Every structure is written in structure tokens, then in C-alpha cells.
């Protein structure tokens, strides 16, 4: 589990353009935000109740995996310097 202080340093590195995030990660991040707030849903919450959140959680889960991958790539780059 990454240390919280390391996460903030990682976010600052992205903001300061010290780390280049893979385009796939950006696409999934944007898709997660848009899909969460879009009125169109693959599994509607109104019809299936709590099960309707499964697709939302799925895309956020994919984003979380890619985010951790990016953070580890950044940490590996720091260790190599």
C-alpha cells in the first residue's frame, strides 16, 4: 500500500510535469468521471438498485489499478536517478 505522503508527491510530480502519465490512464480517468455523471448507464441504478453501481465501481476499479501502476512507474524512475 503506497504511503499517503508519497501519493501527494506523486500528484505534485504530475502537476509539475515531472512525470508523464500514460495516455491510457488519462483516457480511463476521463471516462470514469464522464461515465459516473452521465445520465446513460449500462446497468441503471433505478432498475437494479445497488447492483446498478457495479459498472460504476468497475470503471473506477480499472482507474485505481492504472493509477497505482503510474505511481509505481514514477517511484521506479526516482529510484533509478
Number of separate helices (H) and strands (E) present in the chain: 4, 0
pLDDT digits (tens, 9 = 90+) for 13-47: 999 999 999 999 999 999 999 988 887 777 777 78
Q: Are 36 and 52 in contact (CB under 8 A)?
A: no
Q: Which long-range contacts (CB under 8 A, 24 or more apart) does 11-16 make?
A: 13/74
Which of 31, 29, 33, 56 is closest to 43 using CA atoms? 56
Global model pTM greater than 0.85: no
Query: For residue 9, how far is the Cα from the chain centroid?
Result: 16
pLDDT of residue 3: 56
Q: Show Cβ contacts of residue 63 under 8 Å, excluding neighbours closer than 6 positions.
A: 25, 28, 29, 32
Residue 43: what pLDDT? Answer: 74
Amino acid at each position: 500500500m503506497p504511503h499517503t505522503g508519497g501519493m501527494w508527491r506523486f500528484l505534485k510530480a504530475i502537476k509539475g510535469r515531472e512525470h508523464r502519465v500514460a495516455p491510457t490512464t488519462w483516457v480511463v480517468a476521463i471516462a470514469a468521471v464522464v461515465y459516473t455523471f452521465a445520465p446513460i448507464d449500462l446497468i441503471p441504478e433505478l432498475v437494479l438498485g445497488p447492483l446498478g453501481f457495479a459498472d460504476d465501481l468497475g470503471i473506477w476499479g480499472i482507474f485505481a489499478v492504472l493509477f497505482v501502476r503510474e505511481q509505481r512507474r514514477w517511484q521506479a524512475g526516482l529510484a533509478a536517478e
